Structure 1
Amino acid sequence: MRPATLAVVVPAHDEERLLPAALTALARAARHPDLAAVEVLTVVVADACRDRTEAVARDAGALVVRTDCRNPGLARAAGVRHALDRSLTGPSALWVATTDADSVVPSGWLAHQLAHAREGWQAVVGTVTLPPSSPLAAPHLALYEKTRPPTGAPWIHPHVHGANLGFAADTYLDAGGFPPLTTGEDRALVHALEHRGHRVLRTATCPVLTSPRLHPRAHDGFGHYLSEMAGTTDA
């Protein structure tokens, strides 16, 4: 696949405080020289927001979709639909990347996904990391990477995060898209992609920095995992 358009979908619920850093990082990633010939769209899905999330997104130049579903699966799906509608190309030439409003992508993140799309991969499933200053960083890393081979061999990791995910739009449509789940919509999509026989790359070479907050906007997701870890660490 040689994408002509790359769309980034960011669901956000009351994220006016953390969203600016996320959008600044995405803008930096969009300026990577490898993306010079590619149209880049950023779509923020302002889901049931009561703060300035929508205004922050518009001020940063993002396209904004307003929803009131309070559901990450529906919000991500709405963002992908908007990207499909706004793209100048069809699904066969559109690559969709997803991240979260409390996450900061590295400068080469979009170029990393684009390179793998050009290699023929139909989805790229990445990893996340915590700020080194967080007291949860070390215990998280030990648990998170317990399946990493000790020999330095490529790590085909078992994780799925909406904060670090990318896929070809036509492949996404074939798999049925994001299901309307309040949690686990990312894992369900990747499972459907693999079940349909699409080429899914699990790679840890371009992790996304994510928030260590213990009271995240999405229920029973990564923040729940961190809360349980914090409780174990404090015990």
Structure 2
Amino acid sequence: MIGVLIPVHDEEDGLALCLESVLRAAAHGDLAGEPVMIAVALDACTDRSAQIAGAYPVTTLRLEARNVGAARAAAAACLLDAGARWLACTDADTVVAEDWLQRQLQLHHEDGADAVCGTVSVADWTPHLARLQQLLQRFHAAYTDADGHAHIHGANLGVCARAYLRAGGFPALGCSEDVALVRALEADGARIAWSAAPRVVTSARIASKARGGFGDTLSAWSQALPL
């Protein structure tokens, strides 16, 4: 069984689109009908996130950690208990490609990858409209959306169950829990695929849920640019 884990803290605006995209990826023909279980960790949600998740065929967990690392770890534990052999991670403000899971598993099966670090793209830069041209130039200069990149995103990450357990799982960090996991995987000798094949589109929102994450990086870059 394949597991997909999604941490959620007040994500009513994008959660439905995220879940619909993951369900499409779960139905990809090249997965040969292997079951896919989706675990949504609802962390201290006060909006309609729980009701939205409840309208889809997903497993929901509730916690009050206010900590993205703890939320990812709880969802991963649920999936592992259910027998997941592969854990795919994304975020609630992200839409994954139809072949997202298939691409991760292909790298695992054909290339022997214990984990897959994918890239992200941004579809809507509207929150940064005032400095859009300068921000795009800086983003494209600093970001490598190609195989062999060095980026780590919780929005586009996959890992086999055995490697995840050997590395100790997601630590309870408020930010960069994805980076900490990958560094632990590397220290354990896991084989990492730095691939641009699994595709996701994520948000460029200013009001980030995880302080210090991708959204905060874009906001910091934007604020440092002249109008």
Settle same-fold status: TM greater than 0.5. yes
Give the % identical residues: 42
Amino acid at match of 1:165: L
Cα offset, 1:132, TM superposition: 5.6
Aligned equivalents of 2:180, 2:166: Cα separation in 1: 14
Instruction: Spell out the pairing of 1:73-112 with structure 2 (5 A cutoff).
Output: 73-87=69-83, 94-112=85-103
Aligned equivalents of 1:233, 1:128: Cα separation in 2: 22
Cα offset, 1:207, TM superposition: 2.9
Regions of 4+ moved over 4 Å: 132-137
Aligned equivalents of 1:55, 1:6: Cα separation in 2: 24
Cα offset, 1:103, TM superposition: 0.4
**Backbone CA RMSD of aligned residues:** 1.6
Cα offset, 1:228, TM superposition: 1.0
- For 1:142, the equivalent position in structure 2 comes to 141
Aligned equivalents of 1:133, 1:211: Cα separation in 2: 8
TM-score (norm. length: structure 1): 0.88
Aligned equivalents of 1:234, 1:30: Cα separation in 2: 43
Cα offset, 1:156, TM superposition: 1.3
Paired positions, count: 219
- 1:180-235 alpha-carbon deviations (Å, 9 max, x no partner): 11001000000010111011111122331000101111111111101112113344
- 1:102-158 alpha-carbon deviations (Å, 9 max, x no partner): 00011110110111121221100001111165445723223212xx7xxxxx64111
The 1:122/1:10 distance shift into structure 2, 3 A limit, reads same
Instruction: Spell out the pairing of 1:47-196 with structure 2 (5 A cutoff).
Output: 47-87=43-83, 94-119=85-110, 120-131=112-123, 134=126, 135=129, 136=132, 138-139=136-137, 140-145=139-144, 155-196=147-188
- For 1:220, the equivalent position in structure 2 comes to 212
Q: Is the 8 A contact 2:124 2:203 kept in 1?
A: no
* Structure 2: segments with no counterpart, 5+ residues: none
Cα offset, 1:61, TM superposition: 1.2
TM-score (norm. length: structure 2): 0.91
